[in-house]
Amino acid sequence: MRLPPLEELYRSHGPAVLRRARQLLGNDEEARDVLQDVFASLLRRPEQFEGRSSPMTFLYAMTTHCALGRLRLRRTRDRLLQAHVEAQPPAGVAPSAPDALVQLRDWLATMPEELATVAVHYHLDEMTQDEIAAVLGCSRQWVGKLLRRLREPGLGGSEP
């Protein structure tokens, strides 16, 4: 299977890539950056699409990978800032409680990439183990093993 021309691919699948990035990152600006990064990567290296899946499946996987990378960078940046900044909130002001999506993003950012990718596909996308295996290019048994690891405490596997 060949990749359609990039302009056509952007018009047909760009909105889905943007939605996916926005869903994972919770930030419009970062989501637009991911959209740009995904298509710029394809412009530079179109051969990375090997035709093992549909273009949409490939773009979805690329977007997930790129967004998870940004979550990790964000978490690292926040941790470094926290370590170097000793500002305390004013007395009497309680920090706001993080919502479930913020907790989910933080949880994903702590995991190894392969586990985070499986977690997103399984829990957020509600994909079957067979579908995940097809997207990742691995066996269904391997996906099952990764899902079991997600349930183990200590690996970032304790759910938010």
pLDDT of residue 159: 44
Contact predicate 31/25, CB 8 Å: yes
Q: Quick check: is 50 in a domain? A: yes
Q: How does residue 53 score in pLDDT terms, banded at 50, 70 and 90?
A: confident
Q: For the chain, how many structural domains are there in total?
A: 2
Q: Quick check: is 105 in a domain? A: no
Residue 85 sits in a domain whose CATH number is: 1.10.1740.10
pTM over 0.75: no
**Average pLDDT in the 98-123 region?**
77
Cα of 151 vs its chain's centroid, Å = 19
**Average pLDDT in the 16-38 region?**
93
pLDDT of residue 29: 92
Q: Quick check: is 97 in a domain? A: no
The average confidence (pLDDT) of the chain is 80
Q: Do 11 and 85 have their domain in common?
A: yes
Amino acid at 55: P
pLDDT of residue 102: 67
* Distant-in-sequence, close-in-space partners of 126: CB < 8 Å, separation ≥ 6: none
**Residue 152, SS3?**
coil
Residue 118 sits in a domain whose CATH number is: 1.10.10
Q: How does residue 155 score in pLDDT terms, banded at 50, 70 and 90?
A: low
pLDDT of residue 76: 67
**Cα(130)–Cα(107) distance, rounded to whole angstroms?**
24
Q: Do 119 and 63 have their domain in common?
A: no
Q: Do 79 and 1 have their domain in common?
A: yes
Domain that includes residue 122, residue range: 111-152
